[in-house]
A and B are shown apart, each in its own frame.
Chain A
Amino acid sequence: KQEVTQIPAALSVPEGENLVLNCSFTDSAIYNLQWFRQDPGKGLTSLLLIQSSQREQTSGRLNASLDKSSGRSTLYIAASQPGDSATYLCAVGVAAGNKLTFGGGTRVLVKP
């Protein structure tokens, strides 16, 4: 059974600092890995999707890496801003149909 873990559960950084969010998964036979952002009481916004054959994806200040052999993904957010404050969730897609197994999330606070 696939299990996804995100550590730490919460993180507080001053504005301008780079953010490093970690995600680990137990079964390397994944279809893809996706990072999401969730604001309080809201739905999920997709940030980056990494196919199983890829090693990383980049979008603006965001960069996500994937190491299937070690069961890890890292999301980097450069030069954090207060607007980056949110909960970040990683999810692995298993099998065709991309059924997602989520981690518990990392709650990020960027202080001005």
Chain B
Amino acid sequence: ETGVTQSPTHLIKTRGQQVTLRCSSQSGHNTVSWYQQALGQGPQFIFQYYREEENGRGNFPPRFSGLQFPNYSSELNVNALELDDSALYLCASSLEASGRTKTQYFGPGTRLLVL
């Protein structure tokens, strides 16, 4: 158990709808990253939040957006869902500070199916 939780565990949506996925970071962690993992592939970096500010973004369109809250929990929002958005969405929390980076701890993921 990493202490990182995600909700919901599974979700089915239809094309064009909007979805919000949630992540609760491990206690003491100030950074959360979101990844998309299509079936049979490695995860792809979506974006990262550090102390409530976006701190880097991967090659994903603006309809993927996020938030980090003062308690360091986070949301991933996806608008205008497409069939290709079907994937496992993983969040990872870590403690970023000057010096060495700590390990990223991943949650169990939310499996999204878009029909």
The chain A residue sitting closest to B31, CB to CB, is: A97
A102 touches B (CB below 8 Å)? yes
The contact string, 1 if C-beta is below 8 Å from chain A, for chain B 1-45, is 010100000000000000000000000000101010000111111
Task: State which residues 52-82 of B face A: CB under 8 Å.
Answer: 55-56, 58
Give A25 to B106 CA distance when docked, in angstroms: 22
* Contact assessment for B42 and A99 in the assembled complex, using a CB-CB cutoff below 8 Å: no
Contact residues in B for A104 (Cβ distance below 8 Å):
40-42
Most chain A CB neighbours (cut-off 10 Å) among B35, B101, B111: B101
Q: Which of A34, A43, A100 contacts B45 (CB 8 A)?
A: A100
**Residue A44, interface by CB 8 Å:** yes
Q: Is the interface of A mostly helix, strand, loop or mixed?
A: strand
Query: Closest residue to A54 on the B side, CB-wise?
Result: B100
Q: How many residues of A contact B (CB 8 A)?
A: 28
**Are the CB atoms of A43 and B42 closer together than 8 Å?**
no
Closest to A4 in B: B42
- The stretch that binds B, out of A13-21, A45-53, A66-74, A77-85, is A45-53
- Chain A residues numbered 81-111 whose CB sits less than 8 Å from any CB in chain B: 89, 91, 93, 95-105
Q: Would you call B90 and A44 a contact (CB within 8 A)?
A: yes
A42 touches B (CB below 8 Å): yes
Does chain B have a CB within 8 A of A24? no
| Chain B neighbourhood of A45, CB < 8 A | 2, 106
19 example contacts (A-B, Cβ-Cβ < 8 A) are as follows: A42-B108, A43-B4, A43-B90, A44-B43, A44-B92, A46-B105, A91-B43, A95-B56, A97-B48, A97-B50, A97-B55, A97-B56, A98-B94, A98-B104, A100-B33, A100-B35, A100-B104, A102-B43, A102-B44
Interface residues of chain B, those whose CB is within 8 Å of chain A, are 2, 4, 31, 33, 35, 40-45, 48, 50, 55-56, 58, 88, 90, 92, 94, 96, 100-101, 103-109, 111
